[in-house]
Amino acid sequence: MTGAGRPLREVGEEELIEQIARLVGDRSNRVSIGIGDDAAAWRPRAGHELVITTDTLIERVHFRLEWTDWEALGHKSLAVNLSDIAAMGAIPRLAVVDLAVRGTERDRDIADFYRGVQALARRFGVAIVGGDTTRSPLGVAVSITVIGESPRDGHRLLRRDAGRPGDLIGVTGPIGLAAAGLRVLERGLKTLDGNPVMQEHYHRPQPRVREGLLLRRCGVRAAMDISDGLLGDLQKLCRASGVAAIVDLERVPVPNAIKWAFPDWEEVALRGGDDYELLFAAPPAVFARVARAFARAGLLPPWKIGQLVEAGSAGPIVELRDVTGRCRPADARGFDHFRTG
C-alpha cells in the first residue's frame, strides 16, 4: 500500500535520513550520541546486565505490502523484537532500525513506517538510536536490533532450558488469532465473523513486556514467546529443558470464532504462529503467585494449559490430552523458514 508523498529518487538518501531523525529522534537521558553519527552511545545502568535480540522481516516471507500498510509494518517489525525481550523478563531500552526498500516508494511510506515504529517505542520507553536505509531491488526487508536490560536483583532472566517436571504450563493470552488473520488474508474471507480482530492480531501484535517482568519477579524461570506456534515452541522449551509436556486441549484459550470458522482449527491455532503471547512453566506455588501479581497489575490472569513431566523413552515429546483424559502425541511442528512455503 503506497500513499502520497515524493518519490525516494527525488528525496535522496541524505534528506530521507533527516526526515527519519526528526520522526524518531527522541533522546533518552542515557543516550549521549544518537542518530546522525557513525554509532550511538548509551550509558547502561550500574548493576544491570544487557539483553540483546534481533529479528528480520522479509517481504513475501513475513508480510505482503498488498495486505498491510506501512505504519502497521513498522509496528510489527519492532513488536516482534520487544516480544523477545519480554520473553527474557527484561526491559527494552534501545532499538536500531535497518530498512531496505526498492527505491520506488515515496517518502510518505517511509515516514508512516517510522511512525509505526516510534508509536510503539514510546509506549515502552524505547529510544530509536540509529540504523540504516538502503536499496533492495528484490523487495522490502526490515531488520531491527533491540537492547534491553535487567537488574541483577536475585531474579534470573527467563530461559527456555529452566523447565522442570511438575511445572505448570501457562500462556498470557488467547492463541490462534494472528494465524487466523493470515488465513483470512490468504483466502479473502472478509465476511468471516471475527475477521477484524483476527487481522488486527496479525498486523499489530502486542508485546507482553509487563507480563514478562512480572513473571521474572514472581520467580518463574522458564519462558519464551510464541512466534512459531504454541506446539512448536513448547517442543523447543521441552527439548531445551529435557522434559516432556502434556497439554489439556480444552484449556488452551482458543477463541470460539476460530473453532467455528475453521474445521482445522487445531492446525490454525496450535501451529500457526505469530501469537507473541508468552509461554511459561512454573511450579504450582509460583504459578499462583503470578496469577495474583497479574490481578494486582490489572492484567488478565494467565491460562493454565498443562504440565511438564519427565521425558520417558520417547524423549521430550508434547502430548495433547482431551476431556476424557486420553492422551495422543501432538504434531509439534511449528513454522520453519526453510521447510515452509
Answer yes or no: is 336 a known binding residue: no
| 225 marked as binding residue | yes
Strands 48-58 and 141-151: antiparallel
Which residues does 204 contact at the CB level (< 8 Å), separation at least 6? Answer: 72, 75, 76, 79
The answer to the question of whether 28 is labelled as a binding residue is no
155 is in an annotated binding site: no
Q: Is 62 annotated as a binding residue?
A: yes
Which uninterrupted H or E stretch holds 153?
Answer: none
Any known ligand binding at 264?
A: no
| Cell output for 145 | 536490533
Q: Is 287 annotated as a binding residue?
A: no
Has 131 been labeled as part of a binding site? Answer: yes
User: Does 69 carry a binding-site annotation?
Assistant: no
**Cβ atoms 150, 46 nearer than 8 A:** no
Single out the residue of 194, 175, 318, 294 nearest to residue 246, CA to CA: 318
What secondary structure, in 3-state letters, does 186-211 show?
Answer: HHCCCCCCCHHHHHHHHHCCCCCHHH
Is 48 annotated in some ligand binding site? no
Tell whether residue 335 is among the known ligand binding residues.
yes
* Neighbour order of strands in the sheet with 127-135: 48-58, 141-151, 91-101, 127-135
What pairs with residue 49 in β-bridges? 150
The answer to whether the annotation marks 55 as part of a ligand binding site is yes
Q: Is 53 annotated as a binding-site member?
A: yes
Q: From the annotation, which residues make up the binding site for ATP?
A: 114, 131-132, 160, 227
The annotation places the binding site at: 38, 53-55, 62, 84, 114, 131-132, 160, 225, 227-228, 274, 335
From the annotation, which residues make up the binding site for Mg(2+)? 38, 53-55, 84, 132, 225, 228
Per the annotation, binding residues for substrate are: 62, 274, 335
